[in-house]
């Protein structure tokens, strides 16, 4: 298990977190970024995001580090960040954060949504 601090964008609802110290993450719409030093920066002064420190996730620090080191980038960003962060902070159990889907899967999904 690992402890993370998640930042949830108020615009796109992506949750982002540093996998290791020095990691940088940006939400899906680009509004909010966690910088290398761990500070959080929005693209305007509205600060339309929420921070959830000390969330416990099921993945090991080792796994997150490997994801970072090998640039696999499957962790660090999650859709529906607010719901995830609230579940993690209200509940003492740890939850598995879904791996990010591959781009191809997104395209297939879009295609199936538009197929009639
Ligand atoms: Zn966003």
Q: What is the pLDDT of residues 52-81, one digit of tens each?
A: 998 988 889 999 999 999 999 999 999 999
Instruction: Using the mean position of ligand 1's atoms as its centre, give its distance from the Cα of residue 74 in Å.
Output: 18
Mention every residue, 6+ apart, whose C-beta is less than 8 A from residue 38. Answer: 5, 18, 21
Report yes or no on whether pTM surpasses 0.75.
yes
Which of the residues in the chain have pLDDT under 50?
104, 106-112, 114-116
Instruction: Using the mean position of ligand 1's atoms as its centre, give its distance from the Cα of residue 93 in Å.
Output: 27
Instruction: Using the mean position of ligand 1's atoms as its centre, give its distance from the Cα of residue 96 in Å.
Output: 22
């Amino acid at each position: 298990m690992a402890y993370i601090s998640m930042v949830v964008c108020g615009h796109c609802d992506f949750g982002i977190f540093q996998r290791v110290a020095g990691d940088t993450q940006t939400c899906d719409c680009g509004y909010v970024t966690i910088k290398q030093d761990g500070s959080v920066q929005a693209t305007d002064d509205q600060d339309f995001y929420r921070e959830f420190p000390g969330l416990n996730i099921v993945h090991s620090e080792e796994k997150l580090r490997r994801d970072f080191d090998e640039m696999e980038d499957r962790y660090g960003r999650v859709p529906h960040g607010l719901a995830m962060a609230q579940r993690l902070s209200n509940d003492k159990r740890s939850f598995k954060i879904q791996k990010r889907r591959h781009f191809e899967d997104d395209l297939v999904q879009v295609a199936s949504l538009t197929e009639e």
